[in-house]
Amino acid sequence: MRISARADYAVRAVLELAVRQGGDPVKAESIAAVQDIPHKFLEGILGDLRRGGIVDSRRGGGGGYRLARDPAAITVADVIRAVDGPIVSVRGERPTGLTYTGSAQPLLPLWIALRANVRRILEGVTIADIAADALPDPVQALAAEPAAWENP
């Protein structure tokens, strides 16, 4: 699985908005500078997040962006789906839309299991969890495994 730059930047932008929650709307330029995200690229991402119901925007001198929902109600999966679409795809298709024949038939349940595991992690972590540096125990346990840090 590959996390796109777009998805990484989106999660970082939403996280930045979460830690600034309760204040004035945050300008895209400020998010871009603090998170080292190209400003023009971030503008497109913020538009996708707005259309996805993750952020709200306000125009004008006091304008900017803020979260549309409580950070505890926004999962990492929500953010990724808003900017990239389905979490796991095979050749651009959802695994449930695939069919295999012959010796390749066992691939379908493998792809479905992969999708289920990725979804379990990304749907189980909220922006509030990350902002509080309090990842759920199962995620912390996986990340604590030495093999998780190796690149085979």
- pLDDT tens digits along 50-90: 999 999 999 888 899 999 999 999 999 999 999 999 888 88
Per-residue DSSP letter, 36: T
How far, in Å, CA of 52 to CA of 124, rounded? Answer: 19
Which strand (E) or helix (H) includes residue 113? helix 107-123
Torsion sign (Cα): 85, 76, 9, 48: positive
Q: What's this model's pTM, rounded to 2 decimal places? A: 0.91
Q: For residue 148, how many other CB atoms are within 10 A of its CB?
A: 9
Domains and CATH numbers, the chain: 5-148 (1.10.10.10)
